[in-house]
Structures are given as structure tokens and as C-alpha cells.
Amino acid sequence: MIQSSSSNGEIGDVMRYLGNKDSILNEINAFIKEVNIPEGSVFFDAFSGTSSVGSFFKEKYQIIANDYLYFSFVYSHAKLNSANVDFKKLNVDPFIEFNRDDIGIVGFITENYSPYNQCKRMYFSVENAKKIDYIRSKIEEWKREQMISDDEYFFLGASLLESISKVANIAGVYGAYLKKWDPRAIKPMTFIQIEHTRSQKCRNVVYNKKLEDIIDDVECDILYLDPPYTKNQYSVQYHLLETIAKYDSPRIKGITGARESIDSTSDWSREGKVEILLDKIVSKTKAKHIILSYSTSGIMSKEYIESVLKRYGKEETLRFKKIPYKKYRNHQTKDEDEHFEYLFYVEKKSEDDVVYTSPLNYMGGKSKMIPFLKRNEPKEYKKFIDIFGGGFNVGINTSCKHVVYNDINFRVKQLIEMFGNVDTFDLYKYILKEIKRYNLTKNNKESYLKARSDYNHPEPPLRDSKLLYVLVLFGFQQQIRFNSSLEFNNPVGESGFNDKIMEKMISFSRRLNEKSIIFHSNDFEFFRDQIDSDTFVYCDPPYLITLGSYNDGKRGFNGWNEKEEKRLLSFLKEIDEKGGKFMLSNVLTHKGRENTLLLEWIKKNNFRVVEFNKESKIRKEIIVLNY
């Protein structure tokens, strides 16, 4: 039977873990209190590490903990499910047994991580390493012989990890050992027990998975995210704890004896990948409340994080705190850098309220009008055609399964298609590479023209949509303009690639990949035969009485004039006659001009007009509906 403090042992305070949140638990708690989340809710600690957060909340909430490292799984299991740990079946007290002076065997740890025999590694003294091997093998033996329950098995495993951390000859992490013996490391190891509480709300669940692989399935109310924030891999920094927890005699490599397997790297520590993952996690979680811890010196910027939280969360609920936080102290340099920790909270929107935005800053783009357009769409339809698709702000937001994108400008169509065809991380790397290669900066005309010329005259003569996207980003007002020989001819502009654009690109690309979209580059009349009573056609044509650079006829594509307008109106009339539904975006008046053609057509056919921005003095957007 274990007591609260064993005869030889002290109670272990949890080892110092990179990014451990012990010091900001009260701040997290204050965030939660402000939103009044009922007791008994399910709290998902998705990057649980040493489980300090889950452990703190376990009397109030049911906890789900997860970490992709196995030693963390052992910790979490022990700290969250120790209520029934009493070692009744064992005829010894493990905390007495494992503190005997005469225990020790030569095993994997002694042979590889202590100066035993020819080994040069100095993680543990030989005596302590032998003790670790003995204890670890004994725990396994007890489990095999069913002398201990699973909960007891993890409790002993976590206690061993805790005990080890007091005698490891390291400067905080296991990525390297010290070249000289630290006095702590040559003292005999004491087997201490980790915190043992009987007060937990209920049985807690612990996973050992990559969060991105389970996020779709985890039912929870609160999602707490505390991802790694540097390029340092936890699997490298804590390789030895992983090996002791698994005790699987892995193939090891290098001076430090790290595990060889490559399945243990985390994309949360990789620039470009982490941004893609955050988008996925926040969009997919079933939690209503999302709390995120991050560091001011982390890979993702505050702007990026906020853009993601605003896309999927209710903006009015978004809260943010910057907390002074001490970086772990480096034993060698004795440095203690102060840095700051961010804490964000947001309440998630319902899926229907999420608005995706095109990464093309397209002229006349409808991103701001999406909720309005959605409110006015027909109750039922089976096929959606975004017939003047442009930047695809509208089509990307429909919940319809069958979506058709069309734009007469095949370059724009190729661009949009590219976001679905090219892996988003590859696209991200490509953009950075080209920016560097051409030295693209705001207003840097020379570099821009060189890139533009390479796009227009490629060798072999196949133009790359990825390069076109880079040019669009750095071009004047991010316009997509071509000359009559279909060469991209927009001059350099004042913008470039930033975190906000990147967030749009990532969320848009993911959404594009999740939908099945058919791409076309045709005149609108091409769709005549594809329209039936289950079809809903959204039309956002060039506006006859306003000037967009794409409808002056000088851009390599047909212009827009009265003839075109008439052709469109009779096409819409045909849709109506076939029982299909349409929504036409336009303006009826603009700067003293009136679209009489459209006005009369609406009147004649008795179509419905809904105004978007009645109060706007500049541009009064309307939609015309036949339903």
C-alpha cells in the first residue's frame, strides 16, 4: 500500500517540462470563469505534456488528455486516473522495494546511457542506470503477472520518470548530457511517487495520438491547445523518457543515443505546417470553447492566430491576454530570459456562419456579402453554379455538395483550381522560395518585372499558376490583368505575402479540397443544357454601369457592354422558364447612372429585388431573385 509520502520517498513535484503551464493555471481558470462553463463539462487538454492543466481541472470537469509522445501518455494516465491505485495485490510496497540499496541490473539503459563498459554517454551514473533498469523491468514483470492494474502500472511508470528527472545529468532537457557530472546526478536515485489524488470528477480518458488524427472524433466542450511553439522537437528533447517509458530497446543513433524512428516528429514545430494544422484543428473541433496558449516567440504570429480564431469563432467573444512568463532556466548559462505567453479565448461559431475568403483579392469580390447572400439563397437546390466565379468567394461558401465553378478568364480559373491541386505546404514553400529568388518586396519594380517576364515567357512554354499567384500578390491592387496577347501586365504594387493572406490561402485551400468542385472556363451560355429545376445559378457579372478593369474589353478577354447584358438577361429568363433558380448581383444606380435595361427587365418579369447596403452612398448592391 502506498502512503501519501513513502518511507524513503518524497512526493515528486512534477519535472520541469518545456512549456509547462503550472505558472499560468490561474490565468486559464480566470478565462474559463468569465464565460461560465458548467461543471461536468468535458475539457480536452489536447497537448497534455505533463498533464498539469488536466490535473488542475480534474475536480471540476471530465478530462480528456492527449499527447503524441508515449511518456506523456504515461504521465497523464497516472495523474488523471490514480483514484484506485493502492497496490493491494502486491505483497510489497513498491516505494520501499524500489528504494532498497541492493537493487540493480544491467539493461538497455545501463548499456547505452551510462559510462558502463565502453559506453561514453553520461546521462546517468552506472548505479542509477542499473536501478532504472531494475525498476523498469520489475514494473513490466508485475504487469505481465497481473500483480498490478493498468492504473498502478502507469502510476509506477510515471513515478519512475519523475524520479529519473532528479538525477539525470542534463541541463533541463534530454537532447544532450553534460560533459561533467552534476552533483545531483551522482547521488543515488530515490524512487519518489508522483502526486496521488483521489478527487477526480470521473474516470478520465487519455489518448496517445497526433491531435490532427483524432480531432474529428473527440466530443468535448472546451478545447485547450498548448502546442509546441519552437522548432525544437519534443521527441528529440525528451527521447530518453520516451525510451524508458516504452522500454522497447529501440535502434538508437548519434552522440546522444536518440531514437532512430522518424514517426515521432511533430508538424507543430514546423513553419508552414503549423499554420495549416491550426486552421484544421480550430475548424474541426466539436468544442464550443477554445483556449489557446502560445508564446510571443513562437513560430505562428499573433496576427495569424487571430485570423484563424476570427474565422471560426465569434469575433465579439475573442479575448486575449499577454502574460509575463519565465523561460526555463538554462543550467549551464544560468540565464533566465523573460518572455511572454499569449492566452486566447474564443467561442466557436456554428458551421453555417463561417465565411471563407478567397486568397485572390478579386475586384468586385463578394466576401463581405456572404451572410447576406446565404440568407437569401433558395431553401432547396441540388446543384450550385457560380457562373462568373472570379475569386470564388461565393461558391466556396455554399453548403451544397455539387458545385460548379466557371469563369471565362481561364487564367483565373487555373489559379483557383491550383489551390486545390497543389499541396498547401508545397505552395507555401514555393511562394517563399520565389520571393527570395526574385527578391520581391513592395514596390520593387525591377525584381517584379523580371518575375513577370519569366511568367509570361517560360521555358518550356508552360505558364505556372503558382508564379502567377506570387505576381498577383505583389501586383498593383492585386489585380489580375492581361494584355491582348494574354500576357500578365499588372504593374508592381504595394502589397505582398503576409499572415492574413496566408490564413485565407490555407483555409480556402482546405475547403476547396473538401468539396467536390467541377471547374470550367466557358461562356455562361455553355451551361444552358445543364440547368434544371434543381439548379441554383449565382451570377456576378461585370456591372454595366460601374467600371472594373476586367470589363473594358482591353484585358485579353471580352469586355462587357449592352449586348452582353442583354444576352445574360435572356439566359436568366431561360433559367426561370426551366424552373431553375437564379440570383443576380448588380447595382441599379451608380454615380448618377441608371441601369434602365436591367430595371425594365426586372419590372417586366416581376422578379424580386433585395438591397444589400441601403445606407451606402457609394455603391448600392442589390440582388435579383426569381424565387
Ligand X SMILES: C[S@@+](CC[C@H](N)C(=O)[O-])C[C@H]1O[C@@H](n2cnc3c(N)ncnc32)[C@H](O)[C@@H]1O
When the beta carbons of 129 and 274 are compared against ligand X, the nearer one is 274
Establish if 280 lies at the interface with ligand X (CB under 6 A).
no
C-beta closer to ligand X: residue 68 or 508: 68
* Dist. CA 218–CA 575, nearest whole Å: 44
Closest C-alpha among 172, 173, 193, 168 to residue 183: 168
In the chain, what is the greatest distance between 2 CA atoms, to the nearest angstrom? 100
**Taking contact as CB under 6 A, which single stretch among the options 62-70, 100-108, 478-486, 586-594 is the one that binds ligand X?**
62-70
User: Does 158 help bind ligand X (rule: CB under 6 A)?
Assistant: no
Query: Which of 52, 479, 507, 585 is the binder for ligand X (CB under 6 A)?
Result: 52
Distances, alpha carbon 81 to alpha carbons 63, 149, 292, 359, 461, in Å: 10, 12, 25, 46, 64
Asked if 56 is part of the footprint of ligand X (rule: CB under 6 A), the reply reads: no
Among 138, 143, 210, 500, binds ligand X (CB under 6 A): 210
Q: Is 19 in the site for ligand X (CB under 6 A)?
A: yes
Among 65, 78, 160, 211, binds ligand X (CB under 6 A): 211
Select the span of 27-35, 66-74, 193-201, 282-290 touching ligand X (CB under 6 A). Answer: 66-74
CA distance 200 to 221: 18
Beta-carbon contacts of 56 under 8 Å, excluding residues fewer than 6 positions away, are 25, 29
Can you list the alpha helix ranges (DSSP code H) found in 36-104? 52-57, 70-80, 94-97
Q: Does 585 bind ligand X (CB under 6 A)?
A: no
Binding segment (CB under 6 A) for ligand X, from list 77-85, 108-116, 225-233, 458-466: 225-233
Footprint on residues 71-90 left by ligand X (CB under 6 A): 72
Q: Site for ligand X (CB under 6 A): how many residues?
A: 24
174 binds ligand X (CB under 6 A): no
Angle at 589 between CA 583 and CA 590, to 5 degrees: 115
Range list of β-strands (E), 337-437? 338-347, 383-386, 402-406
Choosing from 266, 283, 393, 398, the residue that interacts with ligand X (CB under 6 A) is 266
> Which grid coordinates are listed for 437?
529568388
For ligand X, give the closer residue by CB, 49 or 359.
49
Give, for 586, the enclosing helix (H) or strand (E). Answer: strand 581-587
In this complex, which beta carbon is closest to ligand X, that of residue 48 or of residue 406? 48
Least CB distance to ligand X at residue 191 (A): 22
Q: Which is nearer to ligand X, 66 or 595 (CB)?
A: 66
Q: How far is 288 from 353, CA to CA, in rounded Å?
A: 14
First to last CA, the chain: 75
The backbone torsions φ and ψ at residue 415, rounded to the nearest 5 degrees and listed phi first, read -60, -50
Task: Please tell me whether residue 243 binds ligand X under the rule CB under 6 A.
Answer: no
CB of 123 to ligand X, least distance (A): 20
Instruction: State the Cα–Cα distance between residues 492 and 313, nearest whole angstrom.
Output: 35
- Using CB under 6 A, which of 24, 28, 64, 69 touches ligand X? 69
Which stretch in 47-55, 181-189, 384-392, 530-538 sits in contact with ligand X by CB under 6 A? Answer: 47-55
Please, which residue, 210 or 619, has the CB nearer to ligand X?
210
Cβ atoms < 10 Å from Cβ of 514 = 10
Could you give the CA distance from residue 437 to residue 464 in angstroms, rounded to a whole number? 16
Instruction: Let me know: does 194 contact 159? Beta carbons within 8 Å.
Output: yes
What residues are paired with 538 via a beta bridge? 386, 583
Out of 95, 191, 234, 601, point to the residue binding ligand X (CB under 6 A).
Answer: 234
Task: Give the residue with the Cβ less far from ligand X, 209 or 590.
Answer: 209
| Closest separation in Å from C-beta 209 to ligand X | 7
Residue type, 552: D
CB of 35 to ligand X, least distance (A): 20
Question: How far apart are CB 449 and ligand X at their closest, in Å?
Answer: 43
Task: State the nearest-atom distance from the C-beta of 295 to ligand X, in Å.
Answer: 9
Which of 68, 116, 294, 543 touches ligand X by CB under 6 A?
Answer: 68
Strand ranges (DSSP E) for 133-233?
Answer: 193-194, 205-207, 222-225
- Among 24, 28, 42, 53, interactor with ligand X by CB under 6 A: 53
Q: How far is the CB of 267 from ligand X (least distance, A)?
A: 6
CB of 277 to ligand X, least distance (A): 7
Q: How far apart (Å, rounded) are the C-alpha atoms in residues 536 and 581?
A: 5
Nearer to ligand X, 127 or 226 (CB): 226
- List the one residue out of 209, 204, 138, 128 whose CA is nearest residue 170: 128
Query: From the list 42, 43, 67, 278, which residue makes contact with ligand X (rule: CB under 6 A)?
Result: 67
- Closest contact distance (angstroms) between CB of 62 and ligand X is 18
**Distance (Å, rounded) from C-alpha 2 to C-alpha 193?**
9
SS3 131: helix
Instruction: Measure the CA–CA gap between 278 and 192, rounded to whole angstroms.
Output: 38
Query: Nearest distance from residue 14's CB to ligand X, in Å?
Result: 8
Closest contact distance (angstroms) between CB of 22 and ligand X is: 7
**Does 524 contact ligand X by CB under 6 A?**
no
Residues 6+ away with beta carbon under 8 Å from 138 = 97, 98
Give the cell for residue 160: 519512475
Integer CA distances (angstroms), 231 to 17, 235, 266, in order: 16, 11, 9
Find the binding residues for ligand X in span 284-323 (CB under 6 A).
none
Three-state SS at 51: coil
In the complex, minimum distance from the CB of residue 413 to ligand X, in angstroms, rounded to a whole number = 36
CB of 429 to ligand X, least distance (A): 20
Nearer to ligand X, 282 or 492 (CB): 282
Please give the sequence-ordered ranges of beta strands (E in DSSP) within 159-308, or none if there are none: 193-194, 205-207, 222-225, 252-253, 258-259, 289-295
Q: How far is the CB of 25 from ligand X (least distance, A)?
A: 9
Interface positions with ligand X (CB under 6 A): 17, 19-21, 47-50, 52-53, 66-69, 72, 210-212, 226-228, 234, 266, 268
